Structure 1
Amino acid sequence: MSTDNSSEYFSSQFKLGILGGGQLGKMLLYETRKFDIYTVVMDASNEAPSKIACNEFVLGDLMDFNAVYDFGKRVDVLTIEIENVNIDALEKLEDEGLKVFPPTKALKIIQNKAKQKLFYVDHDIPTADFQRFAYKSEIKDSIANGALDFPFIWKAAQFGYDGQGVAVIRKTEDLDRLPAGECIAEKMIDFKNELAVIVTRSASGEVKTYPVVEMEFHPEANQVEYVICPARIDAAVAAKAQEIALKVSEKIQHVGILAVELFQTKDDQILVNEVAPRPHNSGHYSIEASYTNQFEQHIRAILDLPLGDTKSKVAGIMVNLVGAEGHTGAVVYENMAEILGMEGVTPHIYGKKETRPFRKMGHVTIVNESISEARKIAQQVKETIKVISK
């Protein structure tokens, strides 16, 4: 492992660039602050949560070639906190010798869900059956020809996030409200659990995984409500999930964090749903519950420092705080003092001043020696705190 240059990162002239200034960037910056690593962040919003915590903030469109390229010329290592960035600019920067993590080769596969699914098929990685369509109109032809059955999952090939760009299609009319571009139609899986494994790969190839987590989703918003670590599953299923996540990591050859989302079917098969090449919602519990949280681990990986201990100190559950339905405007966190009075509860507020229905505004971690006790407290937290508008 290459650690010869490690001293150049801390309290030095070294500059780490981060594309994206959302809450994931903000939480990455907790760690760069801890290590006194100089950071430069670019985001399209002047209200970006990361703005308050970085050394330099650049206002710019992440999909604009010149903005991304010019930004890259200012820094020594470049990483992302969101996949929707201009790949061509990153590729040019990489060709000119800038260290870009994850590498553009990996990002190209992951950024487009159709390419991602084809990659799994090509590398014998288990995933749900799917069809790829250049245009939404082709789906109706496929249904008419009997090649596609209801119900199925529609996914936009690009730019989906937090439940956006995903829909359950039960009848042809359900397609009418969806955008027309490239997409996939995926077989609906009758699953027992939704799981995730975070794999970290350093620039020189050291690899570590976090414990398997279990995710409970909001039935309407298609967003994670609870992340539970460790997952309440058999050891054999957990081992299979780890094994498949490691295979995905090895084939994609990312650097940094890779969150691998998985389905556990009724007969305990493990299927890959999708991946994210950055710190992820399914790893937020690690800030309080793990020896090395996912954000510090990402920094260690992209700077090619030794990876930290991924074991949990204690059982952890993460509750997402999302904007309440019927509320849009200046945010108010109702009953915050009440949840702070509960055992093992730590809220994280992302710094978004405006709320809207289902917008991710923060999360709360609950730690406890007992996973069942932690789950009970998590339910209390969910029922107590309200993210509303003034």
Structure 2
Amino acid sequence: MNYFSSEFKLGILGGGQLGKMMLYETRKWDVWTKVLDASPEAPCKISCNQFVKGSLLDYDTVYEFGQGLDVLTIEIENVNLDALDQLEKDGLKVFPQPRALRIIQNKAKQKLFYVDHGIPTADFQRFAYLSEIEDSIQNGGLKFPFVWKAAQFGYDGQGVKVVRALSDLEGLPAGECIAETMIPFKNELAVIVARNDDGEIRTYPVVEMEFHPEANQVEYVICPARIDDKVASKARELALKVAQKIKLTGLLAVEMFQTEDDKILVNEVAPRPHNSGHYSIEASYTNQFEQHIRCILNLPLGATESKVAGIMVNLVGDEGHTGDVVYENINRILEMDGVTPHIYGKKQTRPFRKMGHVTIVDQNIDQARKTAQKVKETIKVISK
């Protein structure tokens, strides 16, 4: 099939920043695109050929959106899977496949998948209702501290909480959840795996993630991770194993813990381009968004190696600021060598909302990390 400057039509469910960066690549190749998102101000709106406003979770909306497309993909996994199942039965190519999304969309099912396939992960218990956790604690079946995770609809630090006392359960959603053993770890790592429909598969280098202690959001992504080569090799092998078991077409971001004794445990996965791969736009031979397009169009995969060391700094809304966004001191970071800001196009800021990211590239990873710190301390995402 001819994808370039042709009648081929690609659909994307979700119009956020991941979709916007995916559209950088489709525009580069002149691939026709159609995007669905609930927000009339979605970042993708200005970059696609056709924009449709509607709910990603509504069966009829998603099913109707898929009519007339050649391939349908996602930039967020919280979508109506029944509609995707029917579209696939109708002959539409849907990547990643709905069967894979059913495993990943629910964190309890995802954890059970790891257990069933011999993939090392933190011990956990599954609960149909939040109230069952309190019963388990009182009966001695669950001990503090542990990590509570909502089974569905968690993102960007939402739907995750460290529970150290019963009072920490107050105000949490009442539905299905898991309680996960807290893991003492040295590092949080991630590996992005790319797989096309022919089964060609490649991994990106292992990255190291540094998290904000309050928001539970990634503040820095560091590539390559500052870890021993043997540990990096174990992480890439484990990420490959997860991807080969799930067998999805597209990108799979595998988040992992490096324990104190250098074991690697899978935390969770995302079936799409991921925050941990943003550094690749400037630092890699093939960035993650181009690679995702290559995967779902069943094109040859690009080189995943890095040209230089890369660090990504998330730009999130400052605490105490809600309203029309202002990027303070952006001129000052543009004076720094190797620094590239990416602004997502969200007009309204609020505390910890992802508004953009900044990539820092340098031949020396330590120098890149120092520059990243300066960037973090300099630029502010505030409101008018």
The SS at the match of 1:388 is strand
Query: SS where residue 191 of structure 2 aligns?
Result: strand
> How far is the alpha carbon of 1:74 from its aligned partner?
2.9
- Rounded to whole Å, the distance in 2 between the matches of 1:92 and 1:190 is 43
1:236 is aligned to: 230
> What is the percent sequence identity of the aligned residues?
77
3-state DSSP of counterpart to 1:107: helix
Q: Secondary structure at the match of 2:179?
A: strand
Measure the CA separation in 2 of the matches of 1:67 and 1:177. Answer: 32
Residues 128-277 of structure 1 mapped to structure 2, 5 A cutoff: 128-277=122-271
- Residue of structure 2 equivalent to 1:385: 379
Q: Report the equivalent of 2:321.
A: 327
- The correspondence for 1:364, drawn from 342, 345, 358, is 358
User: C-alpha separation between the residues in 1 aligned to 2:331 and 2:285?
Assistant: 27
Partner of 2:120: 126
Q: Which residue of 1 aligns with 2:54?
A: 60
- Any idea what SS the aligned residue of 1:378 has? helix
Give the distance between the partners of 2:288 and 2:345, measured in 1 at CA.
Answer: 20
What is the alpha-carbon distance in structure 2 between the residues aligned to residue 247 and residue 12 of structure 1?
A: 37
Q: Confirm or deny that 1:97 pairs with 2:97.
A: no
Partner of 1:81: 75
Deviation at 1:173, TM superposition (A): 1.1
Q: What secondary structure does 1:257 align onto?
A: strand
Alpha-carbon offset, residue 194 of structure 1: 0.1
Residue in structure 2 matched with residue 45 of structure 1 by the alignment: 39
Aligned partners of 2:91 and 2:287: how far apart in 1? 29
AA in 1 matched with 2:237: E
Partner of 2:21: 27
Q: What do the CA deviations read for 1:3-40 (whole angstroms, capped 9, x no partner)?
A: xx3xx100001000000000000000000000000000
- Please list the CA deviations of residues 44-94 of structure 1 after superposition, one character each: whole Å capped at 9, or x if unmatched: 000000000000000110000000000011311000000000000000000
| Corresponding residue for residue 11 of structure 1 | 5
AA of the residue aligned to 1:371 = I
- What SS class does the counterpart of residue 142 from structure 1 fall into? helix
Give, in whole Å, the separation in 2 of the partners of 1:184 and 1:83.
19
Distance in 2 (alpha carbons) for counterparts of 1:335 and 1:95:
51
Alignment-derived partner of residue 111 in structure 1: 105
What is aligned with 2:292?
298
**Structure 2: which 5+ runs fail to align?**
none
Q: 1:286 aligns with which of 270, 280, 295?
A: 280
Give 1:370 shift: 0.1
Aligned partner letter, 2:169: L
| Deviation (angstroms), 1:176 | 1.3
TM-score by length of 2: 1.00
Distance in 2 (CA, whole Å) between partners of 1:386 and 1:74 is: 43
C-alpha RMSD of matched pairs (Å):
0.4
Query: Which residue identity does 2:141 align to in structure 1?
Result: A
Report the alpha carbon displacement of residue 155 of structure 1 after superposing the two structures with TM: 0.2
Q: How many residues align?
A: 384
State the secondary structure of the residue aligned to 1:382. helix
The gaps in structure 1 that reach 5 residues or longer are: none
